[in-house]
Amino acid sequence: MTEPSPRRLIAPLTGIRAVAAFWVVTRHFRTELIDAFPGLRVVAPLMNVGYLGVDLFFVLSGFILTVTHLVPMTDGYDWRKALGFLWLRIGRVWPLTAFVLLLFGGYFLVQLWTGDVAAAGQVDPGRFLQHLLLLQGWTAHPLDWNGVDWSISAEWLAYLSFSVGVVLLGRFAAVARRRTVVAWVVVLQLPVILVGASMQDDTILLFSSDGYVLSPGVLAVRVLAEFWVGALLCVLVRGRLERGRPSRLPAPTIAAVATVGVLYLVTAFDPVRRVRPGQEELYRGVDLIAPTETVVVLPLFVLLIGGLALCPRDPLARLLSTRPLVLGGRVSFALYLSHPLVIGAYVEAVARLHPGRALLAALAVGAVVAAWVFAWVLWRWVEEPCRRTARRMLPDTVRV
Protein backbone atom coordinates (compact mmCIF):
# COMPACT_ATOMS: atom_id res chain seq x y z
CA MET A 1 0.00 0.00 0.00
CA THR A 2 1.49 3.33 -1.05
CA GLU A 3 0.96 6.72 0.47
CA PRO A 4 -0.82 9.29 -1.71
CA SER A 5 1.33 12.21 -2.70
CA PRO A 6 0.32 15.37 -0.82
CA ARG A 7 1.85 17.62 -3.48
CA ARG A 8 -1.46 18.14 -5.23
CA LEU A 9 -3.20 18.83 -1.92
CA ILE A 10 -0.90 21.13 -0.06
CA ALA A 11 -1.49 24.38 -1.91
CA PRO A 12 -5.33 24.67 -2.04
CA LEU A 13 -5.85 22.91 1.27
CA THR A 14 -3.34 25.22 2.91
CA GLY A 15 -4.88 28.27 1.25
CA ILE A 16 -8.36 27.41 2.51
CA ARG A 17 -7.00 27.60 6.05
CA ALA A 18 -6.30 31.30 5.52
CA VAL A 19 -9.91 31.85 4.47
CA ALA A 20 -11.28 29.86 7.42
CA ALA A 21 -9.12 31.70 9.96
CA PHE A 22 -10.00 35.12 8.59
CA TRP A 23 -13.67 34.14 8.62
CA VAL A 24 -13.37 33.59 12.36
CA VAL A 25 -11.64 36.97 12.72
CA THR A 26 -14.52 38.72 10.96
CA ARG A 27 -16.94 37.15 13.44
CA HIS A 28 -15.11 38.75 16.37
CA PHE A 29 -14.37 42.05 14.59
CA ARG A 30 -17.67 42.53 12.80
CA THR A 31 -19.14 45.38 14.88
CA GLU A 32 -15.91 47.37 14.58
CA LEU A 33 -15.75 46.73 10.83
CA ILE A 34 -19.36 47.87 10.37
CA ASP A 35 -18.59 51.02 12.37
CA ALA A 36 -15.62 51.79 10.14
CA PHE A 37 -17.18 50.65 6.86
CA PRO A 38 -21.01 50.83 6.94
CA GLY A 39 -21.15 49.27 3.48
CA LEU A 40 -20.08 45.97 5.01
CA ARG A 41 -23.59 45.55 6.41
CA VAL A 42 -24.41 43.56 3.29
CA VAL A 43 -21.99 40.80 4.36
CA ALA A 44 -23.02 40.86 8.03
CA PRO A 45 -24.84 37.49 7.65
CA LEU A 46 -21.55 35.91 6.58
CA MET A 47 -19.54 37.55 9.34
CA ASN A 48 -22.11 36.57 11.98
CA VAL A 49 -21.52 32.87 11.27
CA GLY A 50 -17.74 33.15 11.11
CA TYR A 51 -17.54 30.54 13.88
CA LEU A 52 -18.28 27.98 11.15
CA GLY A 53 -14.69 28.47 10.06
CA VAL A 54 -13.80 26.28 13.03
CA ASP A 55 -16.03 23.50 11.67
CA LEU A 56 -14.23 23.79 8.35
CA PHE A 57 -10.95 23.41 10.24
CA PHE A 58 -12.16 20.28 12.05
CA VAL A 59 -13.07 18.52 8.80
CA LEU A 60 -9.86 19.67 7.15
CA SER A 61 -7.79 18.45 10.11
CA GLY A 62 -9.20 14.93 9.88
CA PHE A 63 -8.57 14.88 6.14
CA ILE A 64 -4.98 16.14 6.28
CA LEU A 65 -3.93 13.95 9.21
CA THR A 66 -5.29 10.89 7.42
CA VAL A 67 -3.42 11.79 4.24
CA THR A 68 -0.23 12.27 6.24
CA HIS A 69 -0.38 9.52 8.85
CA LEU A 70 -2.71 6.68 7.81
CA VAL A 71 -0.16 4.56 5.96
CA PRO A 72 2.94 5.08 8.16
CA MET A 73 0.96 4.61 11.38
CA THR A 74 -0.91 1.46 10.31
CA ASP A 75 2.24 -0.15 8.91
CA GLY A 76 3.38 -1.99 12.02
CA TYR A 77 1.25 -0.01 14.47
CA ASP A 78 2.29 -0.07 18.12
CA TRP A 79 2.14 2.20 21.17
CA ARG A 80 5.35 3.99 20.10
CA LYS A 81 3.67 5.20 16.92
CA ALA A 82 0.63 6.39 18.87
CA LEU A 83 2.86 8.34 21.25
CA GLY A 84 4.96 9.61 18.36
CA PHE A 85 1.89 10.94 16.59
CA LEU A 86 0.69 12.67 19.76
CA TRP A 87 4.16 14.12 20.32
CA LEU A 88 4.18 15.66 16.85
CA ARG A 89 0.73 17.13 17.39
CA ILE A 90 1.76 18.57 20.75
CA GLY A 91 4.83 20.07 19.10
CA ARG A 92 2.58 21.62 16.49
CA VAL A 93 -0.12 23.21 18.67
CA TRP A 94 1.02 23.45 22.29
CA PRO A 95 4.02 25.84 22.22
CA LEU A 96 2.15 28.60 20.42
CA THR A 97 -1.01 28.01 22.46
CA ALA A 98 1.01 28.36 25.68
CA PHE A 99 2.94 31.39 24.40
CA VAL A 100 -0.21 33.30 23.43
CA LEU A 101 -1.74 32.29 26.77
CA LEU A 102 1.18 34.01 28.51
CA LEU A 103 0.59 37.09 26.36
CA PHE A 104 -2.99 37.14 27.60
CA GLY A 105 -1.68 36.92 31.16
CA GLY A 106 0.48 39.98 30.53
CA TYR A 107 -2.50 41.75 28.98
CA PHE A 108 -4.62 41.08 32.08
CA LEU A 109 -1.83 42.38 34.33
CA VAL A 110 -1.67 45.61 32.33
CA GLN A 111 -5.44 45.96 32.68
CA LEU A 112 -5.21 45.49 36.43
CA TRP A 113 -2.36 48.00 36.65
CA THR A 114 -4.49 50.58 34.80
CA GLY A 115 -7.37 50.04 37.23
CA ASP A 116 -9.58 47.67 35.23
CA VAL A 117 -10.87 45.49 38.06
CA ALA A 118 -12.94 43.41 35.63
CA ALA A 119 -9.70 41.81 34.46
CA ALA A 120 -9.24 40.26 37.89
CA GLY A 121 -12.07 37.85 37.16
CA GLN A 122 -10.11 36.47 34.23
CA VAL A 123 -7.01 35.62 36.23
CA ASP A 124 -7.88 32.17 37.58
CA PRO A 125 -4.72 30.04 38.16
CA GLY A 126 -6.71 26.81 38.10
CA ARG A 127 -8.19 27.60 34.72
CA PHE A 128 -4.79 28.74 33.49
CA LEU A 129 -3.49 25.24 34.27
CA GLN A 130 -6.39 23.66 32.43
CA HIS A 131 -5.58 25.79 29.39
CA LEU A 132 -1.94 24.70 29.55
CA LEU A 133 -3.02 21.06 29.70
CA LEU A 134 -5.46 21.62 26.79
CA LEU A 135 -8.35 20.46 28.97
CA GLN A 136 -10.23 23.76 29.21
CA GLY A 137 -12.95 22.72 26.77
CA TRP A 138 -13.72 19.41 28.45
CA THR A 139 -15.74 20.89 31.32
CA ALA A 140 -18.67 23.31 31.52
CA HIS A 141 -17.18 26.74 32.10
CA PRO A 142 -17.45 30.27 30.65
CA LEU A 143 -14.81 31.19 28.10
CA ASP A 144 -11.78 32.71 29.83
CA TRP A 145 -8.11 33.57 29.27
CA ASN A 146 -7.73 33.11 25.51
CA GLY A 147 -11.36 32.41 24.72
CA VAL A 148 -10.72 31.03 21.24
CA ASP A 149 -8.41 28.21 22.33
CA TRP A 150 -11.39 26.03 23.31
CA SER A 151 -11.05 24.59 19.80
CA ILE A 152 -7.45 23.55 20.49
CA SER A 153 -8.70 21.62 23.50
CA ALA A 154 -11.31 20.04 21.24
CA GLU A 155 -8.67 19.22 18.63
CA TRP A 156 -6.57 17.52 21.31
CA LEU A 157 -9.54 15.26 22.00
CA ALA A 158 -9.67 14.43 18.28
CA TYR A 159 -5.92 13.71 18.21
CA LEU A 160 -6.27 11.29 21.11
CA SER A 161 -9.06 9.46 19.29
CA PHE A 162 -7.02 9.32 16.07
CA SER A 163 -3.92 7.91 17.79
CA VAL A 164 -5.93 4.76 18.55
CA GLY A 165 -8.74 4.88 15.99
CA VAL A 166 -6.32 5.01 13.07
CA VAL A 167 -5.97 1.21 13.35
CA LEU A 168 -9.68 0.70 12.74
CA LEU A 169 -9.63 3.36 10.04
CA GLY A 170 -6.85 1.52 8.20
CA ARG A 171 -8.69 -1.79 8.33
CA PHE A 172 -11.92 -0.11 7.27
CA ALA A 173 -10.18 1.55 4.33
CA ALA A 174 -8.82 -1.80 3.20
CA VAL A 175 -12.16 -3.63 3.04
CA ALA A 176 -14.98 -1.08 2.80
CA ARG A 177 -16.75 -0.43 -0.46
CA ARG A 178 -17.06 3.08 -1.77
CA ARG A 179 -20.78 3.35 -1.04
CA THR A 180 -20.20 2.20 2.54
CA VAL A 181 -17.67 4.96 3.07
CA VAL A 182 -20.07 7.50 1.55
CA ALA A 183 -22.81 6.28 3.89
CA TRP A 184 -20.61 6.78 6.95
CA VAL A 185 -19.57 10.25 5.76
CA VAL A 186 -23.25 11.14 5.59
CA VAL A 187 -24.24 9.47 8.86
CA LEU A 188 -21.50 11.14 10.90
CA GLN A 189 -22.65 14.58 9.81
CA LEU A 190 -26.20 14.05 11.04
CA PRO A 191 -25.52 14.44 14.80
CA VAL A 192 -23.80 17.78 14.25
CA ILE A 193 -26.54 19.09 11.99
CA LEU A 194 -29.41 17.87 14.17
CA VAL A 195 -27.92 19.05 17.46
CA GLY A 196 -26.68 22.33 16.01
CA ALA A 197 -29.97 23.18 14.32
CA SER A 198 -31.84 22.53 17.57
CA MET A 199 -29.70 24.95 19.60
CA GLN A 200 -30.77 28.49 20.38
CA ASP A 201 -29.66 31.21 17.97
CA ASP A 202 -26.25 32.79 18.62
CA THR A 203 -25.06 29.99 20.88
CA ILE A 204 -22.58 29.38 18.04
CA LEU A 205 -22.96 25.60 18.34
CA LEU A 206 -21.05 25.74 21.60
CA PHE A 207 -22.79 27.41 24.55
CA SER A 208 -25.74 26.63 26.74
CA SER A 209 -28.85 28.65 25.94
CA ASP A 210 -28.74 30.91 29.01
CA GLY A 211 -25.13 32.13 29.00
CA TYR A 212 -21.63 31.86 27.62
CA VAL A 213 -20.94 28.49 29.25
CA LEU A 214 -19.38 25.70 27.23
CA SER A 215 -21.46 22.59 26.62
CA PRO A 216 -18.81 19.84 26.67
CA GLY A 217 -21.16 17.22 25.25
CA VAL A 218 -22.00 19.37 22.24
CA LEU A 219 -18.33 20.24 21.76
CA ALA A 220 -17.33 16.55 21.75
CA VAL A 221 -20.03 15.64 19.25
CA ARG A 222 -19.06 18.56 17.05
CA VAL A 223 -15.32 18.01 16.91
CA LEU A 224 -15.22 14.20 16.85
CA ALA A 225 -17.93 13.84 14.20
CA GLU A 226 -16.43 16.49 11.94
CA PHE A 227 -12.87 15.27 12.40
CA TRP A 228 -13.78 11.69 11.50
CA VAL A 229 -15.88 12.89 8.58
CA GLY A 230 -12.68 14.46 7.26
CA ALA A 231 -10.76 11.23 7.86
CA LEU A 232 -13.36 9.14 6.02
CA LEU A 233 -13.46 11.69 3.21
CA CYS A 234 -9.76 11.09 2.72
CA VAL A 235 -10.38 7.33 2.59
CA LEU A 236 -13.05 7.99 -0.02
CA VAL A 237 -10.84 10.02 -2.39
CA ARG A 238 -7.40 8.51 -1.74
CA GLY A 239 -7.75 6.04 -4.60
CA ARG A 240 -8.03 8.81 -7.17
CA LEU A 241 -5.18 10.66 -5.49
CA GLU A 242 -2.90 7.63 -5.68
CA ARG A 243 -3.71 7.15 -9.35
CA GLY A 244 -3.13 10.85 -10.06
CA ARG A 245 -6.50 11.36 -11.73
CA PRO A 246 -7.64 14.93 -11.06
CA SER A 247 -11.21 15.88 -11.84
CA ARG A 248 -12.09 18.73 -14.17
CA LEU A 249 -15.35 19.51 -12.41
CA PRO A 250 -15.43 22.94 -10.69
CA ALA A 251 -16.62 21.28 -7.47
CA PRO A 252 -14.84 23.68 -5.05
CA THR A 253 -16.27 26.77 -6.72
CA ILE A 254 -19.75 25.24 -6.78
CA ALA A 255 -19.46 24.28 -3.10
CA ALA A 256 -18.25 27.76 -2.10
CA VAL A 257 -21.00 29.58 -4.02
CA ALA A 258 -23.63 27.21 -2.65
CA THR A 259 -22.33 27.75 0.89
CA VAL A 260 -22.70 31.51 0.62
CA GLY A 261 -26.17 31.14 -0.89
CA VAL A 262 -27.38 28.75 1.81
CA LEU A 263 -26.04 30.99 4.59
CA TYR A 264 -27.95 33.98 3.23
CA LEU A 265 -31.12 31.94 2.73
CA VAL A 266 -31.07 30.44 6.22
CA THR A 267 -30.41 33.86 7.72
CA ALA A 268 -33.21 35.48 5.73
CA PHE A 269 -35.70 32.70 6.48
CA ASP A 270 -34.58 31.60 9.93
CA PRO A 271 -37.03 28.73 10.55
CA VAL A 272 -36.93 28.83 14.35
CA ARG A 273 -35.70 32.16 15.69
CA ARG A 274 -34.73 31.75 19.34
CA VAL A 275 -32.82 34.75 20.66
CA ARG A 276 -30.95 34.21 23.90
CA PRO A 277 -32.20 36.15 26.97
CA GLY A 278 -30.52 39.54 27.19
CA GLN A 279 -28.80 39.17 23.83
CA GLU A 280 -28.80 42.32 21.70
CA GLU A 281 -30.49 41.64 18.37
CA LEU A 282 -29.47 44.73 16.43
CA TYR A 283 -26.28 46.74 16.18
CA ARG A 284 -26.71 50.10 14.44
CA GLY A 285 -29.65 48.65 12.57
CA VAL A 286 -27.81 45.47 11.56
CA ASP A 287 -29.06 42.05 12.70
CA LEU A 288 -26.16 40.29 14.39
CA ILE A 289 -27.97 37.17 15.60
CA ALA A 290 -26.45 34.07 14.01
CA PRO A 291 -28.98 31.28 13.38
CA THR A 292 -27.54 27.91 14.39
CA GLU A 293 -29.47 26.31 11.52
CA THR A 294 -26.62 27.52 9.28
CA VAL A 295 -24.79 24.34 10.33
CA VAL A 296 -26.61 22.70 7.40
CA VAL A 297 -23.69 23.89 5.23
CA LEU A 298 -21.50 21.13 6.73
CA PRO A 299 -22.01 18.79 3.73
CA LEU A 300 -20.89 21.65 1.48
CA PHE A 301 -17.70 21.95 3.53
CA VAL A 302 -17.10 18.25 2.89
CA LEU A 303 -17.65 18.76 -0.84
CA LEU A 304 -15.35 21.80 -0.77
CA ILE A 305 -12.44 19.96 0.86
CA GLY A 306 -12.84 16.87 -1.30
CA GLY A 307 -13.10 19.06 -4.37
CA LEU A 308 -9.95 21.00 -3.52
CA ALA A 309 -8.13 17.66 -3.23
CA LEU A 310 -9.37 16.33 -6.55
CA CYS A 311 -9.91 19.44 -8.71
CA PRO A 312 -6.65 21.42 -8.94
CA ARG A 313 -7.82 23.15 -12.13
CA ASP A 314 -10.90 24.61 -10.48
CA PRO A 315 -10.82 28.44 -10.33
CA LEU A 316 -11.11 28.49 -6.54
CA ALA A 317 -8.42 25.84 -6.18
CA ARG A 318 -6.11 27.92 -8.35
CA LEU A 319 -6.80 31.02 -6.28
CA LEU A 320 -6.15 29.20 -3.01
CA SER A 321 -2.88 27.88 -4.46
CA THR A 322 -1.43 31.37 -4.92
CA ARG A 323 1.56 32.26 -2.76
CA PRO A 324 -0.18 34.91 -0.58
CA LEU A 325 -2.99 32.54 0.38
CA VAL A 326 -0.65 29.60 0.97
CA LEU A 327 1.44 31.80 3.25
CA GLY A 328 -1.77 32.95 4.92
CA GLY A 329 -2.69 29.32 5.47
CA ARG A 330 0.62 28.62 7.12
CA VAL A 331 0.18 31.45 9.60
CA SER A 332 -3.55 30.82 10.05
CA PHE A 333 -3.13 28.98 13.36
CA ALA A 334 -1.21 31.92 14.79
CA LEU A 335 -3.81 34.34 13.43
CA TYR A 336 -6.61 32.36 15.02
CA LEU A 337 -4.95 32.28 18.45
CA SER A 338 -3.67 35.84 18.58
CA HIS A 339 -6.26 38.00 16.84
CA PRO A 340 -8.27 38.74 20.04
CA LEU A 341 -5.21 40.60 21.36
CA VAL A 342 -5.06 42.79 18.27
CA ILE A 343 -8.80 43.45 18.39
CA GLY A 344 -8.48 44.37 22.07
CA ALA A 345 -5.72 46.84 21.25
CA TYR A 346 -7.87 48.35 18.49
CA VAL A 347 -10.85 48.79 20.83
CA GLU A 348 -8.63 50.46 23.41
CA ALA A 349 -7.14 52.80 20.80
CA VAL A 350 -10.58 53.84 19.51
CA ALA A 351 -11.82 54.46 23.06
CA ARG A 352 -8.89 56.77 23.75
CA LEU A 353 -8.65 58.58 20.40
CA HIS A 354 -12.35 59.08 19.55
CA PRO A 355 -11.42 59.11 15.84
CA GLY A 356 -13.44 60.57 13.00
CA ARG A 357 -14.69 58.52 10.06
CA ALA A 358 -11.47 58.57 8.03
CA LEU A 359 -9.18 57.77 10.96
CA LEU A 360 -11.55 55.06 12.17
CA ALA A 361 -11.40 53.38 8.76
CA ALA A 362 -7.61 53.66 8.71
CA LEU A 363 -7.38 52.13 12.20
CA ALA A 364 -9.65 49.24 11.20
CA VAL A 365 -7.55 48.46 8.14
CA GLY A 366 -4.43 48.80 10.28
CA ALA A 367 -5.85 46.33 12.80
CA VAL A 368 -6.50 43.73 10.09
CA VAL A 369 -2.98 44.19 8.70
CA ALA A 370 -1.48 44.12 12.19
CA ALA A 371 -3.30 40.86 12.97
CA TRP A 372 -1.74 39.16 9.95
CA VAL A 373 1.72 40.63 10.60
CA PHE A 374 1.61 39.63 14.26
CA ALA A 375 0.51 36.14 13.22
CA TRP A 376 3.42 35.89 10.79
CA VAL A 377 5.87 36.89 13.54
CA LEU A 378 4.45 34.24 15.89
CA TRP A 379 4.52 31.61 13.14
CA ARG A 380 8.06 32.47 12.08
CA TRP A 381 9.65 32.74 15.52
CA VAL A 382 7.54 30.52 17.80
CA GLU A 383 5.28 28.05 16.03
CA GLU A 384 7.55 26.84 13.22
CA PRO A 385 10.80 26.52 15.25
CA CYS A 386 8.97 24.55 17.96
CA ARG A 387 7.36 22.27 15.39
CA ARG A 388 10.71 21.49 13.79
CA THR A 389 12.36 20.92 17.15
CA ALA A 390 9.63 18.47 18.18
CA ARG A 391 10.08 16.51 14.95
CA ARG A 392 13.85 16.36 15.40
CA MET A 393 13.36 15.03 18.93
CA LEU A 394 11.30 12.09 17.68
CA PRO A 395 13.48 8.94 17.39
CA ASP A 396 14.28 7.83 13.85
CA THR A 397 12.80 4.42 14.63
CA VAL A 398 9.35 5.94 15.10
CA ARG A 399 7.90 6.75 11.68
CA VAL A 400 4.46 8.29 11.79
Total domains in the fold of the chain: 1
**What pLDDT is attached to residue 8?**
43
Within-domain flag for 1: no
Given a cut of 60, whether residue 5 has pLDDT beyond it is no
Is 393 in a helix, a strand, or coil?
Answer: helix
Mean pLDDT for all residues in the chain: 91
pLDDT (average), residues 371-388: 97
Tell me the one-letter amino acid at 148: V
**Per mean pLDDT, which range of 19-33, 86-100, 236-250 is the poorest?**
236-250
Phi-psi map region of 343: left, alpha, beta (phi>0 left; psi -120 to 50 alpha): alpha
pLDDT (average), residues 376-396: 95
**What pLDDT is attached to residue 121?**
62
List all residues 6 or more positions away from 178 whose beta carbon is below 8 Å from its beta carbon: 236
Given a cut of 70, whether residue 96 has pLDDT beyond it is yes
pLDDT (average), residues 193-221: 89
**Domain residue limits at 91:** 7-393
Within-domain flag for 2: no
Compute the distance between CA of residue 98 and CA of residue 92 in angstroms, rounded to an integer. 11
Within-domain flag for 399: no
Given a cut of 90, whether residue 400 has pLDDT beyond it is no
Long-range Cβ contacts of 273-282 (<8 Å, 24+ apart)? 273/201, 274/200, 274/201, 274/209, 275/200, 275/201, 275/202, 276/200, 276/201, 276/202, 276/203, 276/209, 276/210, 277/210, 279/202
pLDDT (average), residues 48-61: 97
Task: Judge if pTM exceeds 0.85.
Answer: yes
Task: Give the distance from CA 28 to its chain's centroid.
Answer: 14
**What pLDDT is attached to residue 239?**
78
Within-domain flag for 328: yes
Within-domain flag for 338: yes
Q: With bands split at pLDDT 50, 70 and 90, how would you rate the model's confidence at 1?
A: very low
Q: What is the pLDDT of residues 158-184, one digit of tens each?
A: 999 999 999 999 999 999 999 999 999
Within-domain flag for 105: yes
Percentage of the chain with pLDDT > 70? 94
More confident residue, 52 or 109: 52
Q: What is the pLDDT of residues 237-293, one digit of tens each?
A: 987 777 666 667 889 999 999 999 999 999 999 877 888 777 777 888 888 889 999
Within-domain flag for 398: no
pLDDT (average), residues 91-104: 96
pLDDT (average), residues 48-77: 94
**For residue 142, what are the β-bridge partners?**
213
Given a cut of 50, whether residue 7 has pLDDT beyond it is no
Q: With bands split at pLDDT 50, 70 and 90, how would you rate the model's confidence at 4?
A: very low
Q: What is the pLDDT of residues 319-365, one digit of tens each?
A: 999 999 999 999 999 999 999 999 999 998 999 999 999 999 999 99
Q: What is the pLDDT of residues 287-323, one digit of tens each?
A: 888 999 999 999 999 999 999 999 888 999 999 999 9
Compute the distance between CA of residue 218 and CA of residue 316 in angstroms, rounded to an integer. 32
**What pLDDT is attached to residue 279?**
76
Within-domain flag for 55: yes
